[in-house]
Every structure is written in C-alpha cells, then in structure tokens.
C-alpha cells in the first residue's frame, strides 16, 4: 500500500492487478467506480416462482434426487488449490428454490479454465460455452495470465468432468474478453443469452464459476447498479493514449495497491511478481452483490430464468496489499460485462479473430471546474476530421450523456464509447456555456 491514508479500507482486487486511480470506492481491477452506489431494494419472495421454475427446468423428478454434474477439476498446475468434484444436487424438487432451478439449468454451460505459460506460472478462471462444438467465452486476462503470455497452454474442464485442450481463437483486451476453442469437443450445452438491456436494479443475479478453484460454485444476489463504469490498469491492453484519454492512474495519488483476479501468488498460493501495466481500459459493467471471488473471472452471471446477463470480470475487495500473503474475498461489490456487449464481441472474434470498438476522436478529461453546474466529461481536445469534430463538438464542451446514459466523468464516457462497434451511431448530449445540445455522432474505429 502506498500513500498517506492507512486508516482507509483497501478496495480493489480484480482482473488486472496494477495500481490505478484512487477514490473512495475501487473496482476489483484497481480503478475508481463512479458514481456512488444507489440503494436498491430486494424483490419479494420468489417461492411460487421457484416452485414453477424447478418443474419447468429440471422436469418431473422423483424425491430420490437429481445430481447435475458441474465442474470437477480446476485445470491448474498448482498442487495446493482445491479441485474436488462438485455437483448440483436436488434432493426434493418440490421444495427446491429458484436458485436451484437456475443452477441446474446453467451449470452444464459453465466450465473451469486452467492456464499455464509452460513454465512456473499458472492461473484458474471460468468460462461459458457458446456452441456445442466447443467455443468458450472467457476473459482476456484469464487466457493471457494478465498479459504475461501470448502462447498459453489451456485446459478446460466441462460439466461432465471431461477435460479438453483448448486454443485461443482471439482476444479483445479492450473489452477483457476472449474466445477459446476446445479440441475434439461435441455435444456440449451452450449458454442461453438473456437481454442485458432490459435489466432492472433489484433483479435477481446468480453467479456460477470456480472461485479459488472450487468448481461449480453458485452464489446469488441482485443487480446492484447498471451502467456502472470502472477503469482498470491492464498489461494486456493496447496503449490507446492520444486517441481517447482515460484518467491518469497517477494523478490522484492513490493510497491503494491492486492485485490480480485469478493469478496464483496474488491469492496466497504461489510466488509471482505482478506484471507491469502498460495501459488502462474503461469497462461498462453491471454491478452485483452476488459473491464473486478470484477464479470467477469469465464465469456466468445469470437472471432468474437461467439466461446469461453478464460475464464476471472483477470485484472490489478490502484488505489486500502488496505485502499481504493472502487475498481478500468478496465484500458484495462485483462487476460483470453485460451479455449484449459480450455477445457482440464473441461473435466478431469467432467470425474474424478480433473485435472493433468505437472511437469518439476526442481527448476527454474530468470536469475540473469547481463552479461547474453539472457533472460530466470535459472535451480537452478534438481530432481534426474525427467523429467528435464532425458532430460539432469543441474543446471545453461538457458531455453529460451518451446514448441517453448519464456521463459523470471521463471513465463513463470512454466505457460507453467502447461498447459500440466502429461505425455505430450514437447521441451525445453536451453543455456549452449554459446551453445543452444533443447531436448524433458516427463513431470512428479504435486502433487495434
């Protein structure tokens, strides 16, 4: 830990693991999460829904019990990580609840991923099945060991206990998503995608993955916030400085250290020197209080129908420092990449080996004017001939909304721009002086 504020809790334990901008609350990847949490009320009893759902999802079973095999091996080379077989067991379908129904439906579509660089470094994460022949969606930081290797050895354990070798199809570090392909796979159960754009704060959220190597772990909570944005330091991401600025991680003098989500040595299991981040990325995420821990990366966040609403990517966690030998777990602040965004990226990677992202063509800074009447992201400069210039944006404009999503700072804007593909149209609302204007912008393409 650095800085002069030892009294403050240490937030941040997530997918990338290098120091980044500090505010009161930090994303699991070591960057500020803005704005502050908005309270959300849990929904009422789901007993009736659960009784109906369990019958629909797992059929008319006897009281003798149903065991749905989940993940049985963590695929890691480490000998001191848990790897016991795990089952989802339903002993009495008549009394099983909604969470049981979702777990029974979706667990066959969640896998455990073990990655090694071929020498001494290894890590464990999760993934979801996209196709019966073995396309798997996970995080870039899982398959690259946080950017440490471009040629990983990957082992994937499926729900029936079979272990497959896998190869990387493509990675998208800007979205922290990757697709791998299992070798000689068939008959797998693809995940069913939900529509993440229709979520409400307070909706049921269920996470399935392999936290700490414990395959097939199921946790539940709610959707705590939508359109949250986090900025993370990444050793895997391309350097996009000069194209669209994100906050400088050193500008706020953060007193915190942030550690990797899945890499051994930062969870107290092996010795490893953290990789050095070369860039930052901004992610638009769903926030949930469903317990997510190291190893959940790339796993599923599901709705009450067992449909995929997010790919788990990061947590905020208290108590981890550069000198600690352990890694603190969930404090109820977890983050997932929305399913609609994840599907676009995975479809593009499968089709072409890579994905595209929008570019506004402007350098963006935090709104620093103490007398400003609104929060937003200030246009520090525009690129001649770029998307922002073509739409009439100018230096000094304060952007307050992007596609009708409120923008509170540079992280919000950058994250929302990156969600869209190159060439997409979007609306931008900005304040110039005292006049608010909304324009349509056709985004450029972020350089790979």
User: For residue 371, which phi and psi values (nearest 5 degrees)?
Assistant: -95, 5
How many CA atoms within 13 Å lie on the side-chain side of 158? 27
The secondary structure of 321-345 as a DSSP string is: -TT-SS-----S-EEEEEHHHHHHH
Give the residues across from 260 on adjacent strands.
Answer: 14
Q: Which of 141, 229, 234, 289 is catalytic?
A: 141
Task: Please state whether the peptide bond connecting residue 300 to the residue before it is cis, i.e. omega within 30 degrees of 0.
Answer: no
Between the alpha carbon of residue 20 and those of residues 12, 35, 163, 336, 429, the distances in Å are 10, 17, 37, 19, 28
> What is the DSSP-derived secondary structure letter of residue 38?
P
Active site residue 297: yes
SS3 call for 411 = helix
Q: Which of 29, 146, 176, 397 is catalytic?
A: 176
Bridge-based pairing state of the strands 259-260 and 13-14: parallel
Active site residue 73: no
424 phi-psi bin (left φ>0, alpha ψ -120 to 50, beta other): beta
d(CA 115, CA 77): 8
Largest CA distance in the chain: 71
- Are 217 and 87 contacting, i.e. CB atoms less than 8 angstroms apart? no
Neighbours of 273 (CB within 10 A): 8
Active site residue 409: no
Q: Which residues contact 307 (CB under 8 A, 6 or more apart)?
A: 192, 193, 194, 339
d(CA 116, CA 139): 15
Q: Which of 297, 317, 330, 363 is catalytic?
A: 297
SS3 call for 232 = strand
d(CA 363, CA 444): 14
SS3 call for 177 = strand
Active-site residues: which are they?
141, 176, 297
């Amino acid at each position: 830990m650095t800085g002069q504020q030892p009294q403050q809790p240490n937030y941040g334990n997530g997918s990338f693991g290098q120091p980044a901008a500090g505010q009161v609350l930090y994303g699991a990847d070591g960057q500020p999460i803005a704005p502050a949490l908005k309270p959300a009320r849990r929904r009422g009893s789901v007993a009736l829904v659960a009784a109906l759902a369990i019958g629909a999802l797992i059929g008319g079973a006897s009281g003798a019990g149903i065991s749905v095999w989940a993940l049985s091996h963590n695929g890691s080379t480490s000998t001191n990580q848990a790897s016991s077989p795990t089952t989802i067991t339903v002993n009495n379908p008549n009394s099983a609840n909604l969470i049981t129904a979702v777990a029974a439906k979706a667990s066959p579509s969640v896998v455990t991923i073990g990655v090694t660089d071929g020498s001494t470094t290894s890590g464990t994460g999760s993934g979801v099945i996209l196709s019966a022949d073995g396309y798997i969606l996970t995080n870039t930081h899982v398959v690259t060991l946080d950017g440490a290797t471009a040629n990983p050895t990957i082992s994937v354990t499926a729900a029936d206990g079979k272990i497959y070798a896998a190869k990387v199809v493509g990675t998208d570090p800007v979205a922290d998503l990757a697709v791998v392909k299992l070798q000689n796979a068939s008959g797998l159960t693809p995940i069913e995608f939900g529509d993440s754009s229709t979520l409400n704060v307070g909706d049921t959220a269920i996470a399935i993955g392999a936290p700490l190597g414990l395959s097939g772990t199921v946790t539940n909570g709610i959707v705590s916030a939508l359109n949250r944005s986090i900025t993370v330091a990444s050793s895997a991401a391309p350097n996009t400085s000069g194209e669209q600025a994100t906050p400088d991680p050193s500008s706020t003098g953060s007193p915190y250290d942030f550690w990797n989500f899945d890499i051994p040595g930062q969870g107290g299991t092996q010795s490893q020197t953290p990789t050095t981040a070369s860039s930052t990325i901004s992610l638009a995420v769903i926030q949930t209080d469903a317990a997510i821990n190291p190893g959940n990366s790339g796993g599923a966040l599901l709705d009450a129908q067992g449909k995929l609403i997010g790919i788990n990517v990061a947590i905020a966690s208290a108590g981890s420092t550069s000198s600690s030998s352990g890694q603190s777990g969930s404090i109820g602040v977890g983050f997932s990449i929305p399913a609609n965004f994840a599907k676009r990226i995975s479809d593009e990677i499968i089709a072409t080996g890579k994905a595209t992202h929008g570019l506004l063509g402007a350098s963006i800074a935090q709104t620093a004017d103490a007398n400003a009447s609104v929060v937003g992201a200030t246009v520090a400069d525009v690129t001649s001939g770029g998307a922002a210039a073509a739409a009439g944006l100018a230096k000094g404009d304060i952007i307050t909304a992007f596609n009708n999503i409120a923008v509170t700072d540079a992280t919000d804007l950058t994250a929302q721009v990156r969600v869209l593909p190159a060439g997409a149209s979007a609306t931008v609302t900005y304040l110039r002086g005292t006049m608010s204007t909304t324009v349509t912008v056709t985004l450029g393409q972020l350089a790979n």
